[in-house]
Amino acid sequence: MNPITPIINGLKITLSHLFKKPVTLQYPTERPKVAQRFRGLHALNVSHNKAKCVACYLCPTVCPAKCITVEAGEDANHDKYAARYEIDMLRCIFCGYCVEACPVDAIRMTGEFELANYRRQDFVYSKERLLEKK
Amino acid sequence: MVNLTIDDKQVTAPKSATIYEAAKINGIKIPILCHDKKLKPFGACRMCLVEVEQMKGRQIPACTTPVTDGMIIRTSTPDIIKARKMVLELLLLNHPIDCPVCDKGGDCDLQNLTYEYQVNANRFSDEKFHHEIDYSNPLIERDMNRCVLCGKCARICDEIVSFGALTFISRGIETKIGCEFEGSLNCEFCGSCVSVCPVGSLLARPFKFKARFWALTNQKSVCSYCGTGCNLTLGVKDNKVLTTVYDENQGFHNGQLCCRGRFGYQFINSDKRLTTPLVRKGGALMEASWDEALELVATRLRGAGASAAALATPRLTNEELLLFKKLMEAAGSANYDHSAGYAHAALTKGFARSFGATASPSTILDIQKSDLLLVIKTDSYETHPVIGFEINMAVKNKGAKLNILSDKRGKLSKLPDAKTFVHTPGSEIAVINSLAKAILDEKLAAGSAVSIPGYADLEKALAGFTPDAVAVQSGLSAAAIKQLASDYAKAEKALIIFPVGNAYPGHNADMASAVANLALLTGKLGTEGSGVLCMAEKNNSQGAVDMGFYATSGLQAGQIMDGCASGAIKTLFLAGENPVVSYPNRAVVTTALDKVEFLVVSDLFMTETAAMADVVLPACSFAEKEGTFTSVDRRVQHIKPAIRKVGQSRTDFEIFSTLIAKLGGQAPAAPAAVFGEIAASAPGYAGMSYAALGETGAFAPVDITPAFVVPKTVAVEPAAGKLALVIGSVLYHNGTLSQFGEGPMYVCPEGYVELSRGDAAKLNVAENDLLNVTSAAGSTKLKARISSRMPEGVLFSPYHFGAAEINRVWSGAPVTWVTVTK
Ligand code: SF4
Ligand code: SF4
Ligand code: SF4
Ligand code: SF4
Ligand code: SF4
Ligand code: FES
């Protein structure tokens, strides 16, 4: 092959981009639209005014990063509920296994990706924080 | 052995085996739901269907069908799989699919089988059950909606526990498991039913929702309550013991436990555990460093000589007890005891002189091999419940005769054909002597007896114990005594079982000798199923005796207390003992502990005794340490840590080692090394190795040199107008430790005084009335409990409760005479 050809091919690509609209988003003024199936921060689903989670311990079991802590409690009707539900986002690898494992559709992943923070403990999402999410 | 073919494999099996068992021995798995190896075959669920060619290929249940020679069996043909699937579909028809919230999820036979047989849909449809769930007691939750009617719970409660709290009620589609009159569960809460339930119908409430089965780490251990030495499996998560896990292959008892073993583990992780050393400063106990606390103790012990004394709980490991002894030797004192002075004299003194050994010659395994069991005190069921199960099984399954000699009736008295001989309190030794006398008179003694040393003296001494003479003082008829004697002497194999403990003042060295005489006279010793089994109270009482942790040249427990009071003992080290509650005569004990200059207590909790100490050392529970325990029948078993140490607590082993080092001695580095010393020096432990103990432990053999000893009897004079108070153990408790186990405390939370219906009527007392119980020693207030098992004129009260203060009344005499007022 002519040794010049690859260089010309490369220059062609560069040239074509000169006339295209840039893909760079002017974050934070411009914001991306994440796909439906994007795996961002978790949220606990609500039904009848309380978290749907029945504390079955399946998500902490399936979680490969072992970042979910569930502690079950017994309510006044002797029913099981998640007295504590916590995800350590510093460990989470956003694999979405927890969502798949949940037998009662209690946990989902939102499009939220802006998770930067200053202190380590701010990355520990308690039940209350996970419920706040829409 | 029979030859048969299972799934085209030529196999052999014992003649008595069922198809299921034959398959199991040969590594072929047949699914089961209603079968349990401990229970009699039932055949209710049809999960175990197999095809047998000789039966025209019909499907028959493997768990109830015995094998025959030449049988050709297929366990998983397409037809069988279809049938099993249908069984599951039918079960799941009314079964709520609650798995996410059901505590059994992950450990459920129904769930596992549904998964295995891929029952993903149901061809049938019906309504789910709507039975009310029983939340009424704090230990066992009953959700009959999940029940598969396997009947295991009802069967184990009947066949092994012999309580019979559960049964099938109603018929057809309405059938369910219930209690009498469909009421709530009110039983002895041994949890056996929970352990065998294959589904989530019966659940242990203390463990409810705590964790999934798969998240638990299982650590095998040995129960730290009574001397039966039951093996148990601790379920651990996040450094907490969350439950006990049932393992049907564990121990001689196949995983059976009593209420304390099953539900009494909470003390391990209790918030009340001591976590830092405390030193008394300016009158109050203040937190201190280990160094400061131990230095203080070492200073007191250094060269203390006979002014120091030690009492240990027989819950310490053998290794710890041996180190404790070394520590006292380093301090120059021979004053140490494990309350043997009160409780275990039967072993240390009685057996020593009658058998030349300080252990029972028989084992728990002898119970099922015996023809006749002579049980002294029905309490043997309450003190050692799992031995009670063994007795029950011997009576029901093996046809053993059961004779009971006791001052009250108990659960054993209810077993089929059990004969109970109720004597007046305090006359037990006289009665046993009269049995020996009757055996001699009726010429039922074995020929070999004459050659045993002491025969002539005994014969002479027994002259006064004719059945007629003893009948008067014991309240038994002479005929009954003669009957008891001839039953015992004529049985081919007969075993005498009796419990001893802190609160059994009558059960002393003399009673042990009296019992030994019976066995020696009739030659019922040294053969399988015959002999004497003395059941010491705590998990390592026998170990404490074997380690020689009792007064030989120094002072006994009672004398140590006197020494403290008189000022002769200046430093007292209590390891895990709580004498304020458990020793007789509380006033004397508290005065002694008040008087002693320096009191050191190592314990798990701030007990009544620890609160009086100058230095309190936080010790570890059995779940945090390693070492060995020896059961009543000298099974030496190994425990390993299940969790890390709580707070700053240290094992007694570490505490004693550090102190020995501070006193200039050298302590072995690890329990394994100490066990090496034990194996070299303790009688019967020779040749044992720490590593080889494994999961099953090892039996320390007992060598006997028999001799007849004349037992002393004390005449117990009835006091006019007074009632006889006997103290003892209750089923749910053991020592004072079980007060910190929430399970037992739910069922039996406080002390009480039990009296007969007759006495209650005479005194105009109703259940739960508060009574003043007064003796010459003192008085206390206790709730009344009225029962039909008490003979008139006799009261019973458990001794475990700190708040009940029964030892203000109970002075340590065989019988305490009391008055009762409202
Ligand atoms: S899997 Fe679902 S129900 Fe189970 S603990 Fe997780 S969020 Fe809760
Ligand atoms: S009993 Fe078994 S199958 Fe039934 S809900 Fe519980 S775990 Fe599921
Ligand atoms: S806990 Fe024990 S006594 Fe009570 S029902 Fe169950 S098996 Fe029977
Ligand atoms: S409660 Fe459990 S053990 Fe009892 S019959 Fe039902 S499924 Fe069987
Ligand atoms: S207390 Fe005794 S009988 Fe009960 S489980 Fe423990 S060792 Fe066994
Ligand atoms: S296991 Fe055989 S019928 Fe249930």
Question: What is the CA angle A4-A5-A8, rounded to 5?
Answer: 90
> How many contacts (CB atoms, under 8 Å) link A and B?
29
Are B397 and B565 in contact by the 8 Å Cβ rule? The answer is no
The label of the residue with tokens 């044992």 reads: B688
pLDDT higher than 90, residue B763? yes
Q: Does B181 touch chain A (CB under 8 A)?
A: no
At A8-43, the pLDDT tens digits run 999 999 999 999 988 888 999 999 999 999 999 999
Q: Search chain A and give the residue with CA nearest B133.
A: A78
Q: How far apart are CA B815 and CA B474, in angstroms?
A: 13
Contact B424, B813 (CB under 8 A): no
B251 torsion bin: left (phi>0), alpha (psi -120 to 50), beta (else):
left
Query: What is the per-residue pLDDT for A133?
Result: 64
Of B154-163, B176-185, B644-653, least confident by mean pLDDT is B176-185
Separation in Å, CA of B106 to nearest CA in chain A: 10
Q: What letter does residue B45 receive in the DSSP assignment?
A: S
Considering only CA atoms, which residue is closest to atom 4 of ligand 4?
B153
A89 near A67, Cβ under 8 Å?
A: yes
Q: Which 8-state DSSP code applies to residue B614? A: S
Closest CA to B200 of B148, B138, B146: B146
- B741: three-class secondary structure by DSSP: coil
Q: Kindly list the residues from chain A whose CB atom is less than 8 angstroms away from the CB atom of residue B138.
A: none
Q: In chain B, what residues touch A61 (CB-CB under 8 Å)?
A: 212, 214-215
CA distance B595 to chain A (A): 49
The 10s digit of each residue's pLDDT in B743-753 is: 999 999 999 99
Phi, psi of B589 (to 5 degrees): -65, -45
Q: What angle is formed at CA B478 by the lines to CA B476 and CA B483, rounded to 5 degrees?
A: 95
Residue from the list A58, A73, A104 with its beta carbon closest to the beta carbon of B209: A73
Closest Cα in chain B, distance from residue A90 (Å): 21
Helix (H, G, I), strand (E, B) or coil at B753: strand
pLDDT single digits (tens) B700-731: 999 999 999 999 988 788 788 899 999 999 99
Looking at this predicted complex, what is its ipTM?
Answer: 0.84
Asked whether the beta carbons of residue A80 and residue B101 sit closer than 8 angstroms, the reply is yes
Tens of pLDDT, residue by residue over B174-187, are 899 999 988 999 99
Residue B412 has pLDDT above 70, yes or no: yes
In chain B, what's the furthest Cα-to-Cα distance? 89
B429 CA distance to ligand 4 middle (Å): 46
**Chain A residues interacting with chain B (CB cutoff of 8 angstroms):** 54-58, 61, 72-74, 78-80, 103-104
- Our answer on whether the CB atom of A51 is closer than 6 Å to any ligand 1 atom is no
Question: Structure tokens of B513?
Answer: 């000798």
- For residue B153, the CA-to-ligand 5 centroid distance in Å is 20
Within 8 A of A56 by CB-CB distance, chain B residues are 99-101, 105
Given the structure tokens 């015992």, which residue do they identify? B488
The answer to whether the CB atoms of A80 and B210 lie below 8 A apart is no
Could you say which DSSP state residue B351 is in? I
Report the share of chain B in percent with pLDDT over 70.
Answer: 100
Q: State the pairing for strand pair B401-406/B372-376.
A: parallel
Comparing alpha-carbon positions, the chain B residue that sits nearest to A105 is B100
CB contact (8 A) between residue A56 and residue B99 = yes
pLDDT at res. B340: 59
Short-list B814, B810, B727, CA closest to B537: B727
DSSP code string of B186-234 = -S----HHHHH-SSTTEEEGGGTTT--GGGPEEEEEE-SSBTT--EEEE
pLDDT band at B734 (very low <50, low <70, confident <90, very high): very high
- Residue B57, phi-psi category: left (phi > 0), alpha (psi -120 to 50), beta (remainder): left
pLDDT in tens, B203-229: 999 999 999 999 999 999 999 999 999
Comparing CA positions, the residue from B614, B601, B696 lying closest to residue B247 is: B696
Is residue B635 within 8 A of residue B697, CB to CB? The reply is yes
| Assigned token pair, B193 | 């039913």
Judge whether residue B341 has pLDDT over 70.
no
Average pLDDT over residues B449-470: 95
Poorest-pLDDT segment among B449-463, B619-633, B682-696: B682-696
Distance from CA of A13 to the nearest CA of B (A): 55
B95 alpha carbon, closest ligand: 2
* Facing A61 at nearest CB: one of B99, B209, B212: B212
Binding pocket residue ranges, ligand 4, CB within 6 Å? B 147-153, 177, 196-199, 201-202
CB-based contact B802:B739 (threshold 8 Å):
yes
Chain A contact set for B100 (CB, 8 A): 54, 56, 58, 103-104
- When pLDDT is cut at 50, 70 and 90, the band that residue B811 belongs to is confident
Question: From the CB of B151, is ligand 6 less than 6 Å away?
Answer: no
Over 90: is that where the pLDDT of B815 sits?
no
* Ligand 3 pocket member B202 (CB < 6 A): no
Tell me the nearest-neighbour CA distance from B133 into chain A, angstroms.
Answer: 10
- How many CB atoms are closer than 10 A to CB B270? 15
| pLDDT value of position B504 | 83
Nearest to B382 by CA among B804, B798, B810: B798
pLDDT, tens digit, for every residue of A64-80? 999 999 999 999 999 99
Q: Which of the four pLDDT bands, split at 50, 70 and 90, describes residue B132?
A: very high
**What angle separates helix B467-474 from helix B428-441, to the nearest 10 degrees?**
160
Nearest CA among B684, B718, B714 for reference residue B702: B684
Tell me what percent of the residues of chain A surpass a pLDDT of 70: 99
Question: Do B209 and A80 lie within an 8 Å CB cutoff?
Answer: yes
Burial class from Cβ neighbours inside 10 Å (0-12, 13-18, 19+) for residue B396 reads: middle
Residue nearest to ligand 2 atom 8, measured at CA: B99
How high is the mean pLDDT of chain B?
94
Q: Can you tell me the distance from the alpha carbon of A2 to that of B513, in angstroms, rounded to the nearest whole number?
A: 112
Q: How far apart are CA B464 and CA B356, in angstroms?
A: 27
**Atom number, ligand 4, closest to the C-alpha of residue B150:** 8
Q: Among all ligands shown, which has an atom nearest to the Cα of B165?
A: 3
| pLDDT confidence band for A134 (50 / 70 / 90) | low
* Shortest CA distance from A104: residue in chain B: B100
Polymer length of chain B: 822
pLDDT bin (cut points 50, 70, 90) of residue B339 is confident
Ligand number with the minimum distance to the CA of B631: 5
The DSSP code for B633 is T
A65 lines ligand 1 (CB under 6 A): no
> Residue B159 CA: which ligand is closest?
3
In sequence order, what E strands does B566-632 have? 571-575, 598-603, 615-618, 627-630
Query: Is the pLDDT reported for residue B680 higher than 70?
Result: yes
Ligand 5 in reach of B226 Cβ (< 6 A) = yes
Residue nearest to ligand 3 atom 2, measured at CA = B190
The Cα of B101 is separated from the nearest Cα of chain A by a number of Å equal to 6
The string of pLDDT tens digits covering residues B528-572 is 999 999 999 999 999 999 999 999 999 999 999 999 999 999 999
B63 Cβ neighbours under 8 A, 6+ residues apart: B18, B19, B20, B30, B32, B34, B35, B41, B42, B43, B48
Q: What is the pTM of this model?
A: 0.94
Is B209 in contact with A55 (Cβ distance < 8 A)?
Answer: yes
Residue B498's beta-bridge partner residues? Answer: B534
Summarize the confidence of residues B297-305 as an average pLDDT.
95
Q: Do A79 and B211 count as a contact with CB atoms less than 8 A apart?
A: no
Contact yes or no for B258/B162 (Cβ under 8 A): no
B173 pLDDT band, cuts 50/70/90, is confident
